[in-house]
Every structure is written in structure tokens, then in C-alpha cells.
A and B are shown apart, each in its own frame.
Chain A
Amino acid sequence: MKASDIGGEVRSVRWRTLDFWPCALVLIATAVALPLIGSPSTWLTLTVAGIAAGIIIFIVASGLTLVFGLMDVLNFGHGVFVGSGAYVAAALMTHLATWSRLTWATASAAILISMLTAALAVGVVGWAFERVVIRPVYGEHLKQILVTMGGMIVAEELIKVFWGPQQIPLALPEALRGAFIFPVGEHGAAVERFRLLVIGIGLLVLASLAYVLGRTKLGLLVRAGVLDSEMVEALGYRIRRLFVWVFVAGAALAGAGGALWGFYQQNLVPQIGTQVNVLVFVVIIMGGLGSTFGCFIGALLVGLISNYAGFMAPKLALFSTLGIMVLILLWRPQGLYPVTSNRT
């Protein structure tokens, strides 16, 4: 049998054994929301916004869940990366103000450049964070939680020192204002151009992440490490070094996600890290700690449901995500896609 045949075989087996129920849950959620909301145009707008939010949450959460899966490290300071990414990107955008005024192409380029720079900068922050904060408390859960939480508080205060405690509005690039009107319902559904751009960029990041994890040797090692890190180490790979790289990459992704989140919300508050942190925790618990695909489904669910709930009962939006998490844990106590590892 040729190697490519084996690859095809493996792929089809994975396809057949994939558990479809959690994916169906996302469709069910959107379907149930339609009659509850009533108007199809509002529903479409909300669904697009929900998917956009879900993709961003996934980009932020993916690194955290992998870091946990690989080395059993729980980083409560993940929001640090979100916050710094958002502020770095916002600072860059003000420098690229002339770009964002010209055409939609230069404006998108400005957003892409500031996002990538933010990711790079936050990658460096992540490297330092791993060195200074996490390495000394390696293997001790209690201290890890306490210290990374302390790091989170310090980082939030530092943001206040550099950028001030007040809310910073982020003006939308002029070339990207306005909305597409989809011919749904009487008035048509307005979907802002800018949000579509965010979805596009998000999908790009998502695709590259899926490619690296699913089609490269590095990704294979990471996935194997999540399942059984000792075995990977026994085969001669330095899991410790791999872990540092995954941590840095996860931080960079969180930075990019933070930048997108900031653009998406169109304003920045120093508490952005804490806010996203809460959503991210809900998502990775829902998905099953360590599972990337579960994390993706969880992120979509949280994005969609918090958007629907935000429309129907604004005060309960935060509790709706908690509620859906409780329901999912009742159904599957280990999360949507539990990682079967040898670790207890």
C-alpha cells in the first residue's frame, strides 16, 4: 500500500468516527434562535456577528487549550496577551491613519499589518511570561493559578499606566464603513463590511492553524504530545522545547485575537483581557480541556448564543454562556470532545 493510500484511509476513518452531535448542536442553536427572534433579517445579522465573535474567541482560546493539553499548565494570565495585542494594534492603527483613509484595500492592509505586528510583539511578551512567571511554578497547579492571576492583575494595571484607565474609542477606517445589504426579509439584513473583513481574517488564521496542526510534522508532534507527552518524549523529541514554542505561538494567536476583538468592539478598555478570559475559560471547559476541535465548536456556540441572548435579554448575556456550559457539562461532564489521555 502506498503512503498516500494510508493517508486517505486514516482520513476516512477519522471522518467516519467523528462525533457529529456537538457540531449538530451549533446548527440546532441557530435553528432554534430563528423563531425566537422572529425577523429573519435580524437573525442573519446576529448569526454573522455571532460567528465572527466565535472565530475570534477560538483564535484566542486555541493556544490556551493546547498549552494545557501539552504540559498540564493552566495559564490564568492568557488575558494579558489579549489585552496587550489589542492595545498594540490600536496604537499602530493610529499611525496608519492615512492608509485607512484611502481605499478599502489599503485600509484592510493596515488592519492586517497592525494585527500581525501585534501578534509578533505579543509572542515576545509570551516568551518572557513563560520564562519569568510560569517556569518557576512548573508542575504546581495551585501556585500556577495564583501566580498567573497575579500576572494578569499587574498587566492590566500596566496597561492603565501606559494608556490610561479610560475607555479608548477605536474609529473605524473610513474606507471600511457602511454595510452590505443581503436581500432577506422586508428590509434586508445589514451586515457591516468591517465585520465581514474580521470574519475573513479570522478564517485565514483558522485555516493556517488547521493546516499546521493537521498537516505538518510539528502539528503531529503537538497533537501527539497532548495525547501522551511522555511517549513523545520517549521517542526522542524534546517536549519542553516544543511546549515553549506552542506557548509563544498561543500567545501570538491570543494577541492577534485581541487585536481583532478590539477592532470588532470598536473600543478598548483595560479590562479587555479579563473579559475575554472569562469567555475563553467557558469555551475550553465546554470543548474538553486540550481539545482543539472541541474548543472551536465551543467558541462558535458561545459566540452565537451570547449574541442571540444579548439581543433578547441583554442583562442575561453573560449568564447565558454560563448556562449553556452547565447544560453541556450535564450532557458530557468531560466536555464536548474529551481528550483521552493517560493523565488523571
Chain B
Amino acid sequence: MFKRILSNDLPRSRPLTLCLLLIIAVLVIEPFLFHSEKATAVAAKVLVFILLAASYDLVLGYTGIVSFAHSVFFGVGAYGIALPAVYVGPSALAMLAGFICACVISALIAFLIGLFSLRVKAIFYAMITLAVAASTQTLVSQMSEITGGEDGVTFNVPAVLSASFEPFHQPIWGIVINGRVITYYLVLLIVLVSFLILLRIVNSPFGRVLQAIRENEFRAEALGFSVVRYRVAGTVISALFATAAGGVLALWLRYVGPDTTLGSEVMLDLLLIVVIGGMGTLYGAVIGAALLVIVQNYLQDLLAIGANLTADVPLLGQLASPDRWSLWLGLLFILCVYYFPSGVVGRLRLRRRSSDVG
């Protein structure tokens, strides 16, 4: 039964299984565990990035094409939830309608980009997505009457999900169940279900074809699979899940802005998560997201202390400043691609294979 839920794609490594179980267990009981708002926020962000990174891995890891516009679909989803809430009001129906519109828009954008670039050369895709991502970010910042510009917009969520909604009089296991806790579990549920669907997709015959194209495009074409069609379909599906991740983020934050959804930092985080976790395996997304988000939120404080110590040294102080966080992430990213291309999951699985032989 368990194997069936995971679509026969088991972690295949004991340490990896333990890591995954630990992460999932912590995420499930988190609201009852730490009683801190920051910890819950970090956990929710981990969840959103698990879904986002898993959907990105469908393109990068499984299909083998690089997209820099994944943050655009993420942003479309977030604004799709936020804008109806701002202009129509916090009703679940309006938000759902907005989300469906967002899905249609995302699918259309992904389809068009794919059609134009993938039918010539797969590397066109990387270049065109970069241009689209840059243009979209500028556009959203400029259309400030609608999108709130650089500052973004805050909005109210339906009453059931707001902090003032308290269905029980007594605290349960030490905490008062309010709308925020309900939102957290809604996020968890959506992410979990989406992740399992993605797992099903990559292990379906369709997913196998995508991997075949990644390994050898020419041979896949020779076997009679229309490479363009499969690639476009792959990017559209991935865009849809990214849209879902964006919607979930907006629901949790009750805020959208270009920096949190469309910025190049989001893209860098995403690339790092997928590469560190391991390209071409969805479990890598879980490990990578948990690692990066936690490190980002707690190590940055540490780095700030370091920056205070070195503030008087001219260049070193600049290098260690928390504002230059992307510098270190970028370096880490390059080193990972060179020396650690299979990521954490790849390493753990490799160890198991060699111990099996020995």
C-alpha cells in the first residue's frame, strides 16, 4: 500500500529514508513542537519550496532543460490568489476563481515559450525564459496601480484561515487552534498531495519518456516519440505545479511582492535547492528545500554577528555583510555543480550501491 502511494519510487537508501521521515515528522507536528511563530513560518516556507523545487526538478532534472522563468509561474500563482482577495474581497470563491485563471495563464505562457523555443533548440529555452523572467519582473513592478509595484500588496484571507478564528475553547496539546494553524495544515495537505501526484507523473510512462529524451534526444525521436511535444507537455505541467506553489505561498504570507515571488533571488534559491538535493530525483527537492530554507533563516543571523565583528575591516566587512548573501550562495552553487552534481540524494544512493557490492 505504502509502495503504491509512493508510485514504487522508494528512497532506496536507509539514511535517506531516515532523513525524509524526520523532515516529514517535524513538518507534521511543527505547530505543537516549537510554539514559536518564526519556526512555523520557516516550516511553511520549507513546504512551499518543497513543492516549487519538485516542480522545477520535473523540468531541470527529469527533462534536462534549464528554465529561468520558473519564478514567473510561481509569481502568477501568488498574484492569482492575491489580486482577487484585494479587489473582490476575502472570499474563498473569488480566490479559487483567481487561482484557476492563474493556472490557465501559466499554462498558456509555458506552452507559448515551449512552442517557440523548444522546436528549434533546447538551449533557446534557457535564453528565452531568462528574457521573459526579466521582462515580467519589470512589468509587475511598473504596473503599480494593479500590483502594488515594488512594495507588493497585503490582503485578508477568508475568515476560517485568519488568526482571529478560534473554533475550540480549550487549547489542544498546549496550543490554541486558530486560523493560522488551520492554514498551516492546509498548506501541508496541498503540498503533500501535489508532491505525490508529481511522484506519480515522473514514474509514469510519460515521465520515462521525458527521462529518455534527457538521456538521448536523438534516440528517443528515433523510437517514435515526438520530442517537442513531450518537452512542451513537461514544461506546462511543471508550470502548473509552480503556480500551485505560488498560490500556497500567497495564502500563507497574506502578502505578495515582486521580490518574494518573481525576483532572481527566488530563482537562485530554487537552483541551489534542486542541485544540492540532487537533480532528477524528487526526494532531492525535500532535502534541499529543508536544508536551504533552514540555513537561510538561522545562519543569516549568525552571519550578521560575523559582519558586526568584521565591520571595521574595509573589504572583509563588505564580503561578510548579510546583504551579500547571494555572493556566497552563488559560489556554493558553482562548487555544487562541479563537485557534487548528483546532490545529497545521489551521494547517499551511491554509498548504498557500493556497500551492496562490497
A145 touching B66 in the complex, CB below 8 Å, given contacts A136-B338, A318-B139:
yes
- Interface pair A278/B131, CB less than 8 Å apart: yes
- Interface pair B334/A143, CB less than 8 Å apart: no
B289 to chain A, nearest CB (A): 18
A141 touching B123 in the complex, CB below 8 Å, given contacts A147-B337, A165-B323:
yes
In the complex, what distance in Å separates the CA atom of A165 from the CA atom of B337?
A: 27
Complex interface: chain A residues within 8 A of B60 (CB): 142
Instruction: Identify which of A150, A285, A326 contacts B330 (C-beta below 8 A).
Output: A150
Q: Is B8 an interface residue (CB 8 A)?
A: no
- Interface pair B134/A275, CB less than 8 Å apart: yes
Stretch from B77-85, B113-121, B187-195, B204-212 contacting the other chain: B113-121
- Interface pair B64/A146, CB less than 8 Å apart: no
- Interface pair A143/B337, CB less than 8 Å apart: yes
Q: Is B92 an interface residue (CB 8 A)?
A: no
Complex interface: chain A residues within 8 A of B143 (CB): 315
In the complex, what distance in Å separates the CA atom of A325 from the CA atom of B124?
A: 12
Within 8 A of A (CB), among B101-143: 116, 119-124, 126-128, 130-132, 134-135, 138-139, 142-143
Q: Is A153 an interface residue (CB 8 A)?
A: yes
In the complex, what distance in Å separates the CA atom of A43 from the CA atom of B321?
A: 47
Within 8 A of A (CB), among B312-358: 315, 318-319, 323-324, 326-327, 329-331, 333-334, 337-338, 341
- Interface pair A158/B134, CB less than 8 Å apart: no
In the complex, what distance in Å separates the CA atom of A76 from the CA atom of B267?
A: 15
- Interface pair A334/B338, CB less than 8 Å apart: no
Q: Is A282 an interface residue (CB 8 A)?
A: yes
From A149, A161, A315, name the one whose CB has the most chain B CB atoms within 10 angstroms: A149
- Interface pair A150/B139, CB less than 8 Å apart: no
In the complex, what distance in Å separates the CA atom of A150 from the CA atom of B334?
A: 6
A202 to chain B, nearest CB (A): 23
In the complex, what distance in Å separates the CA atom of A285 from the CA atom of B113?
A: 14
Complex interface: chain A residues within 8 A of B142 (CB): 315
Q: Is A42 an interface residue (CB 8 A)?
A: no
Instruction: Identify which of B127, B135, B324, B338 contacts A318 (C-beta below 8 A).
Output: B135
From B116, B119, B132, B319, name the one whose CB has the most chain A CB atoms within 10 angstroms: B116
Q: Is B242 an interface residue (CB 8 A)?
A: no
- Interface pair B334/A322, CB less than 8 Å apart: no
Q: Is A96 an interface residue (CB 8 A)?
A: no
- Interface pair A146/B271, CB less than 8 Å apart: yes
In the complex, what distance in Å separates the CA atom of A150 from the CA atom of B335?
A: 9
Q: Is B20 an interface residue (CB 8 A)?
A: no
Q: Is B268 an interface residue (CB 8 A)?
A: yes
Instruction: Identify which of B120, B135, B324 contacts A157 (C-beta below 8 A).
Output: B324
Complex interface: chain A residues within 8 A of B327 (CB): 153-154, 157-158, 161
- Interface pair B134/A318, CB less than 8 Å apart: yes
Q: Is B58 an interface residue (CB 8 A)?
A: no
Within 8 A of A (CB), among B269-289: 271, 275
Complex interface: chain A residues within 8 A of B326 (CB): 153, 156-157
From A143, A146, A325, A334, name the one whose CB has the most chain B CB atoms within 10 angstroms: A146
Complex interface: chain A residues within 8 A of B127 (CB): 74, 281-282, 284-285
- Interface pair A153/B131, CB less than 8 Å apart: no
A145 touching B126 in the complex, CB below 8 Å, given contacts A150-B334, A154-B330:
yes
A161 touching B324 in the complex, CB below 8 Å, given contacts A142-B66, A143-B341, A281-B127:
yes
In the complex, what distance in Å separates the CA atom of A336 from the CA atom of B105?
A: 30
Complex interface: chain B residues within 8 A of A145 (CB): 66, 123, 126
Within 8 A of B (CB), among A59-107: 74, 76
- Interface pair A326/B120, CB less than 8 Å apart: no
Q: Is A173 an interface residue (CB 8 A)?
A: no
Within 8 A of B (CB), among A295-344: 315, 318-319, 321-322, 325-326, 329, 333-334, 344
Q: Is A274 an interface residue (CB 8 A)?
A: yes
A76 touching B121 in the complex, CB below 8 Å, given contacts A151-B334, A318-B134:
no
Name B133's closest neighbour in chain A (CB-CB): A278
- Interface pair A161/B334, CB less than 8 Å apart: no
Complex interface: chain A residues within 8 A of B131 (CB): 278, 281-282, 321-322, 325
Complex interface: chain B residues within 8 A of A49 (CB): none
- Interface pair B334/A133, CB less than 8 Å apart: yes
Complex interface: chain B residues within 8 A of A168 (CB): none
Name A72's closest neighbour in chain B (CB-CB): B123
Complex interface: chain B residues within 8 A of A133 (CB): 334
In the complex, what distance in Å separates the CA atom of A325 from the CA atom of B130?
A: 14
- Interface pair B338/A326, CB less than 8 Å apart: no
Other 6 A-B pairs with CB < 8 A, given A146-B337, A322-B135: A143-B341, A147-B338, A161-B318, A274-B134, A278-B135, A315-B139
11 contacts between A and B (CB under 8 A): A76-B130, A146-B66, A146-B271, A146-B337, A151-B334, A154-B327, A154-B331, A282-B127, A322-B132, A322-B135, A329-B120
Give A contacts to B, CB under 8 Å: 74, 76, 133, 136-137, 141-143, 145-147, 149-151, 153-154, 156-158, 160-161, 165, 274-275, 277-278, 281-282, 284-285, 289, 315, 318-319, 321-322, 325-326, 329, 333-334, 344
Lowest 9 CB-CB distances: which A-B pairs, in order?
A: A157-B327, A153-B330, A281-B127, A150-B334, A154-B330, A318-B135, A150-B333, A145-B66, A278-B134
